[in-house]
Amino acid sequence: GLLSTTPMLQKAKRDKHGIVAFNVHSFDSIFWVLEAAAELKSPVILQTTVGTVKSLGAENIVKVAKAASEHYQIPTGLHLDHCTDYEVIKTAIRAGYTSVMIDASMHAFDENVRQTKEVMDLADSLGVNVEAELGKVGGVEDDIVVAEEDAQKAVPKDCQRFVELTGVPTLAPSIGTAHGIYKGDPDIDFDRIEKIAQVVDVPLVLHGGSAVPDQDVRRCVAEGMAKVNVSTELKNAYSKAIREHFEQEPDSLDPRAYLQKAKDAAKEMAKSKIRMVGSEGKV
């Protein structure tokens, strides 16, 4: 079955490795992400944006994720990514998601606290993990768009107060990464991560994991960022394989031919990310 990500991430933090949370966009991607994790004997988190919940249906996603996790026998969490809508959070929890993000990072501190508490009241007693964000992560993730000049790093003292006030078990502080691919390397504020980790005990979450150099991700993990979100690079690997297939064989018809290539490419990408966070062999 699907596991709450709270104990998964607490254990990862204690054992000093990360767990990748892969954004999945289709039913078959749920299977090949778990296949990649199973081949490396790694725990893994599947996550979907609100857009994916709307296109596939929360209950269908849960059924497929459960079936896949039982098939591959890998510790698996199912997380709702960047949700701003309490009703969608309720739907996801009812359907069987084991973790939800309430993203109220666009609001003032007090309102972020209020909305996070509201979700905690719903989720915590059901054993569902809650993730909140402080500061603003730049870039584009589905419907969430934050211009580079509006990105804002989280303040360590705020992180401490936020966790005290909300009791939230996982926190995503903005520390210099952005959603998507960067123009140059990201300017990660490692001092800030260290200060946040000194005053906050809960596992931290690294958003914008695509296009961050491996050694930078490993430093973040070492500082206590146990959940590493990866979306764009997985989508790119998948789509690029399909694009190349049709460049070579424009008249091809059999979906299995190009979907197999896409799967192989994305699976390799997933495996490289699992190795990057050090969760190989940690089941």
| Residues flagged as binding site for Zn(2+) | 82, 103, 133, 179, 207
User: Which is nearer to ligand 13P, 159 or 237 (by Cβ)?
Assistant: 237
Scanning residues 37 to 76, which ones bind Na ion (CB under 5 A)?
A: none
Stretch that binds ligand 13P, among 114-122, 217-225, 226-234, 266-274 (CB under 6 A): 226-234
User: Which is nearer to ligand 13P, 1 or 184 (by Cβ)?
Assistant: 184
Taking each continuous run of H as one helix and of E as one strand, the counts in the chain are 11, 11
Decide if 152 contacts 140 (C-beta within 8 A). Answer: no
> Which among 15, 81, 143, 150 is annotated as catalytic?
81
Residue nearest to Na ion (CB): 208
Annotate 106-142 with b (16+ C-beta within 10 A) or e (fewer): eeeeeebbebbbebbebbbeeebbbbbbbbbbbbebb
Decide if 47 contacts 78 (C-beta within 8 A). Answer: yes
Is 210 a binder of Na ion (CB under 5 A)?
A: yes
Is 208 a binder of ligand 13P (CB under 6 A)?
A: yes
- Give the residue, chosen from 4, 50, 81, 188, that forms a contact with ligand 13P under the rule CB under 6 A: 81
Amino acid, res. 173 = P
The whole-angstrom separation of Cα 51 and Cα 28 is: 17
> What is the spatial order of strands in the sheet that 144-146 belongs to?
144-146, 138-141, 178-179
Nearest distance, CB of residue 196 and Na ion, angstroms: 19
Stretch that binds Zn ion, among 47-55, 140-148, 152-160, 198-206 (CB under 5 A): 140-148
Is 28 labeled as catalytic in the residue annotation? Answer: no
Nearest distance, CB of residue 112 and Zn ion, angstroms: 16
User: Which is nearer to ligand 13P, 23 or 115 (by Cβ)?
Assistant: 23
In eight-state DSSP terms, residue 224 is: T
Is 207 a binder of Zn ion (CB under 5 A)?
A: yes
Nearest distance, CB of residue 277 and ligand 13P, angstroms: 13
Is 227 a binder of ligand 13P (CB under 6 A)?
A: no
Question: Helices in 124-187 by DSSP H: which ranges?
Answer: 156-166
* String of DSSP letters for 185-251: -----HHHHHHHHHH--SPEEE---TT--HHHHHHHHHTTEEEEEE-HHHHHHHHHHHHHHHHH-TT
Binding footprint of ligand 13P on the chain (CB under 6 A): 23, 81-82, 141, 179-180, 207-210, 229-233
The catalytic site residues sit at 81
